[in-house]
Amino acid sequence: AQSVTQLGSHVSVSEGALVLLRCNYSSSVPPYLFWYVQYPNQGLQLLLKYTSAATLVKGINGFEAEFKKSETSFHLTKPSAHMSDAAEYFCAVSLTGANSKLTFGKGITLSVRP
């Protein structure tokens, strides 16, 4: 079984500030980890994924995440927030193998202040 914990439901940062969205996972086997973004009234878009290669993963729009097995974490960061980053962000985990259904965290809403 696997699960994802995203602490807090809302993060607010100033434009140009560091973005840090936290994700911790639980998995009985080495996991695949994902961050998705959802803009209002749209579907989910993949930001980045960890698939057991490099532990530091770079994604789209300047986001990156680091897989830390000892901390069971996969936190999402971006050095400088833009207004366009305001959205809801979901961390997800899936098991390797044939059944690749995603288990999502509750999501975090990111607000960016001018």
Partner 1 sequence: GAGVSQSPSNKVTEKGKDVELRCDPISGHTALYWYRQSLGQGLEFLIYFQGNSAPDKSGLPSDRFSAERTGGSVSTLTIQRTQQEDSAVYLCASSSSGTVNYEQYFGPGTRLTVT
Q: Which residues bind partner 1 (CB under 8 A)?
A: 32, 36, 41-46, 49, 51, 90, 92, 94-107
Minimum distance of partner 1 from residue 63's CB (angstroms): 15
In the complex, minimum distance from the CB of residue 67 to partner 1, in angstroms, rounded to a whole number = 14
Output the smallest distance, CB 95 to partner 1, in A: 8
DSSP state of 5: E
Angle ∠(55,71,48) on CA atoms, nearest 5: 35
Cβ contacts of residue 83 below 8 Å, gap of 6+?
15, 112, 114
| Closest CB to partner 1 among residues 103, 111 | 103
In this complex, which beta carbon is closest to partner 1, that of residue 57 or of residue 81? 57
Residue with Cβ nearer partner 1 (28 or 41)? 41
State the nearest-atom distance from the C-beta of 98 to partner 1, in Å: 7
Within 8 A by CB and 6+ apart from 111, the residues are: 10, 11, 12, 13, 86
* 28/100 with CB nearer partner 1: 100
Under 8 Å between Cβ of 33 and 93? yes
